[in-house]
Chains A and B, each alone.
Chain A
């Protein structure tokens, strides 16, 4: 009996599935002909009927719950500018006289690339600033300001494309000093700032917020780009650097050079030997090689340069451009400048490349 029932249901299911298959094929066939439009409207009607039936049979579907959760209306926060309120005006006052001067080329040295916070007691035209603020208040909310830059140092906001130093100064006037502040701007705050700075859609177009987000989430703290070392400090640093370079050459040992860099330099020197142009270098290198066996570590461009300098010590007329400050990033410029004079075979070695590349050289 059970088997018989199962057979009946299986047969019914098989017929239904087969019929559905044929029906779908039929639908597609009809859709290819001119009757497709009629078919579509017919199906739309059937849809309506089915929906009406659904509403009748299952009235609870597609409706809102009868009892809504009770909510309390929360008034929007009032971020409007408080310049009109005299008692609160005092709290805003410190931003106006505080004048941030951005010093793009600090004379103190490359390590001290920071923004000098110069507090001038009285700013002559605060009214224009207030006008701009009022213009911002018409279109958005003022971003929450900071009293002063965190740790006394403002971020170099002008690194954001489209944000000039003048803009950075004006943002500092309203208490915006950091990338993180810009990164957290809401659209309303963005509108306020756009009206305040008078930059129109530039903030959106240049994606200041996105850029600020990238800067704010950078692993290293963002510094202003290092200026070209033309300052007096760089000139002062030159003799000291020369001495450092010359010393290991006299002793025949490169003190700080690591193993792969030394090996590479020694190879280069031995390659240069036939040219018989850099004999002092050839003398210095074997000694460096023997010591290199005891040490290991990643090749530092600076160290490599030092060992090169040792090779170059025979020619004391070092170009001032090569004596860049220690913090100069490893790049092709200084490397190429300090390259030993006699390396005809290995001259094409890229600066800052992996030491393994040198090992692969013939």
Chain B
């Protein structure tokens, strides 16, 4: 595993960055089927 982390860290970083963006976007997106109540606090009042 250490070998993978050392040699492939740029890819892992890209994956983590992509995950970050997706997680950030998915929480506020209106495309979600469920969990609308979660974004209730996000909406501008």
Q: Give the one of A12, A22, A32, A37 with max B CB within 10 A.
A: A12
Tell me which residues across on chain B come within 8 A of A22, comparing CB atoms. Answer: 16, 19-20, 23
Check if B24 sits within 8 Å of A24, measured CB to CB: yes
Tell me which residues across on chain A come within 8 A of B17, comparing CB atoms. Answer: 19
In the assembled complex, the Cα of A17 lies from the Cα of B22 at a distance in Å of 10
The interface bits of chain A over 1-27 (1 if a CB of B lies within 8 angstroms of the residue's CB, else 0) are 000100110011101111111111011
Check if B31 sits within 8 Å of A20, measured CB to CB: no
Q: How far is the CB of B26 from chain A (nearest CB, A)?
A: 7
Check if B42 sits within 8 Å of A46, measured CB to CB: no
In the assembled complex, the Cα of A4 lies from the Cα of B7 at a distance in Å of 12
Tell me which residues across on chain B come within 8 A of A13, comparing CB atoms. Answer: 15
Tell me which residues across on chain B come within 8 A of A44, comparing CB atoms. Answer: 30
Size bin of chain A's contact surface = 20 to 34
The interface bits of chain B over 13-45 (1 if a CB of A lies within 8 angstroms of the residue's CB, else 0) are 101111111111111111100000000011110
Main secondary structure of the interface of A (DSSP, over half): helix
Tell me which residues across on chain B come within 8 A of A46, comparing CB atoms. Answer: 25, 29
Tell me which residues across on chain A come within 8 A of B11, comparing CB atoms. Answer: 8, 12
Check if B43 sits within 8 Å of A8, measured CB to CB: no
Size bin of chain B's contact surface = 20 to 34
Q: Flag whether A40 is at the interface (Cβ < 8 A).
A: yes
In the assembled complex, the Cα of A34 lies from the Cα of B6 at a distance in Å of 39
Q: Flag whether A290 is at the interface (Cβ < 8 A).
A: no
Check if A40 sits within 8 Å of B28, measured CB to CB: yes
In the assembled complex, the Cα of A23 lies from the Cα of B29 at a distance in Å of 13
Q: Which residue of B lies closest to A50 (CB)?
A: B31
In the assembled complex, the Cα of A46 lies from the Cα of B44 at a distance in Å of 17
Check if B18 sits within 8 Å of A16, measured CB to CB: yes
Check if A23 sits within 8 Å of B24, measured CB to CB: yes
Check if A18 sits within 8 Å of B16, measured CB to CB: yes
Q: Which residue of A lies closest to B43 (CB)?
A: A40
In the assembled complex, the Cα of A324 lies from the Cα of B26 at a distance in Å of 76
Check if A8 sits within 8 Å of B23, measured CB to CB: no
Q: How far is the CB of A15 from chain B (nearest CB, A)?
A: 4
Q: Are A18 and B19 CB-contacts (below 8 A) given A11-B4, A12-B11, A40-B44?
A: yes
Tell me which residues across on chain A come within 8 A of B42, comparing CB atoms. Answer: 27-28, 31, 36, 39-40
Q: Flag whether A43 is at the interface (Cβ < 8 A).
A: yes
Check if B28 sits within 8 Å of A19, measured CB to CB: no
In the assembled complex, the Cα of A43 lies from the Cα of B32 at a distance in Å of 13
22 pairs of residues in contact across A and B, judged by CB atoms under 8 Å: A8-B4, A15-B12, A17-B19, A18-B16, A18-B19, A19-B19, A19-B21, A20-B19, A22-B20, A23-B20, A23-B21, A23-B24, A23-B25, A23-B27, A24-B23, A28-B42, A31-B41, A31-B42, A36-B42, A37-B44, A46-B29, A47-B31
Given A11-B12, A26-B23, A47-B31, output 8 extra A-B contacts at Cβ < 8 Å: A16-B15, A17-B19, A19-B18, A23-B27, A27-B27, A31-B42, A39-B42, A40-B28
